[in-house]
């Protein structure tokens, strides 16, 4: 997945095993290479620096230096710190014990928001829940039709309205009323508007939806392929909306890993799921331990 990062980390860490007896000096040199590998993978600068500080602090202690294989110990420390960096996860979507749970999906245009709404509906349906989709992205002309098609493929109801002269809060409220009327819906997923960049008007619209609809969870669709740009957008959305979770989309197309490794540390918001393909069944719960294992190769 993150071939460059995995290769560079392997080089940096195997260098530690080659040099005979390990000293504080050559451990620090090796870890400097690890830091370089993280920066090349587009990991946030501060995140990479603090990560190396934590690893160094543990690696140069007596316990590691006096162990039989200090190099292995250091790989173990890096592994554990990668897990800490991406986790802990919070897979819970705060479902209400009764009544309708509202999940609000937000993100920039093209981040995979609409697709992810469909994927989530499919997953929840599989788990025995009764989701419904609401097309509140009135910005992107094709989004409403796209959501309708996806709902048909997943086999869940969708609430859609004509975008002209309409407002997103109203569409969400009507969607919720529709869900109540249908009677057998327990989860409503709101597909909200995106823009190419974070802008004030968009944030105001989303804040209004949040205020009026009081979603149980606000989830950010974070395009892993856009690295630090995605992390910065997540930060801006979190400042406006207090996100409950991130779904990392397009991880299958991300060759570097910068967003995956930075977004939790920068925003404090847990990654709940990962999107690993365009098809509607390509959504998986996020496991930081597995991801750390894959990164280290």
Residue 112 touches ligand GDP, criterion: CB under 6 A:
yes
Closest approach of ligand GDP to the CB of residue 239, in Å: 20
Dist. CA 269–CA 275, nearest whole Å: 17
**Interface positions, 211-250, toward ligand GDP (CB under 6 A):** 221, 249-250
Which one of 140, 212, 287, 294 is in contact with ligand GDP (CB under 6 A)? Answer: 140
Closest CA to 74 of 57, 93, 91: 57
Strand order in the sheet with 187-192: 158-159, 131-136, 187-192, 101-106, 217-223, 245-249, 271-275, 283-285
Q: Is 67 known as a binding-site position?
A: no
Residue 160 touches ligand GDP, criterion: CB under 6 A:
no
Q: Is 128 known as a binding-site position?
A: no
Closest CA to 143 of 205, 101, 195: 195
Residue 113 touches ligand GDP, criterion: CB under 6 A:
yes
What DSSP assignment string belongs to 76-100?
A: HHHHHHHHHHH----------SSS-
**Interface positions, 40-99, toward ligand GDP (CB under 6 A):** none
Comparing CB distances to ligand GDP, the nearer of 13 and 158 is 158
Say how far residue 250 (Cα) sits from the centre of its chain.
10
Residue 131 touches ligand GDP, criterion: CB under 6 A:
no
Comparing CB distances to ligand GDP, the nearer of 15 and 110 is 110
Residue nearest to ligand GDP (CB): 275
Residue 109 touches ligand GDP, criterion: CB under 6 A:
yes
Question: Site residues (CB under 6 A) for ligand GDP?
Answer: 107, 109-115, 140, 143, 194, 221, 249-250, 252-253, 275-278, 282
């Amino acid at each position: 997945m993150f071939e460059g990062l995995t290769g560079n980390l392997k080089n940096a860490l195997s260098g530690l095993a080659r040099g005979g007896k390990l000293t504080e000096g050559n451990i620090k040199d090796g870890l400097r290479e690890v830091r370089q590998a993280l920066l090349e993978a587009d990991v946030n600068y501060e995140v990479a620096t603090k990560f190396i500080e934590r690893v160094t602090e543990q690696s140069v202690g007596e316990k590691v230096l006096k162990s039989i294989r200090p190099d292995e110990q250091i790989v173990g420390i890096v592994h554990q710190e990668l897990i800490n960096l991406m986790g802990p996860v919070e897979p819970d979507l705060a479902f209400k014990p009764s009544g309708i749970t509202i999940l609000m999906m937000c993100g920039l245009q093209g981040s995979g928001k609409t697709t992810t709404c469909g994927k989530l509906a499919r997953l929840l349906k599989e788990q025995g829940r009764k989701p419904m989709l609401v097309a509140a992205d009135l910005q992107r002309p094709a989004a409403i039709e796209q959501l309708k098609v996806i709902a048909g493929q997943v086999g869940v109801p969708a609430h859609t309205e004509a975008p002209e002269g309409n407002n997103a809060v109203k569409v969400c409220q009507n969607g919720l009323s529709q869900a109540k009327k249908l009677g057998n819906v327990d989860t409503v997923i709101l597909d909200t508007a995106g823009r190419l960049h974070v802008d004030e008007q968009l944030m105001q619209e989303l804040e209004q939806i949040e205020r009026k609809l009081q979603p149980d969870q606000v989830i950010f669709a974070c395009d892993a392929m856009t690295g630090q740009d995605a992390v910065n957008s997540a930060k801006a959305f979190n400042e406006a909306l207090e996100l409950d979770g991130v779904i990392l989309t397009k991880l299958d197309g991300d060759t570097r890993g910068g967003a995956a490794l930075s977004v939790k540390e920068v925003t404090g918001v847990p990654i709940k799921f990962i999107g690993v393909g365009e098809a509607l069944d390509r959504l998986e719960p996020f496991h930081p331990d597995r991801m750390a294992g894959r990164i280290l190769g």
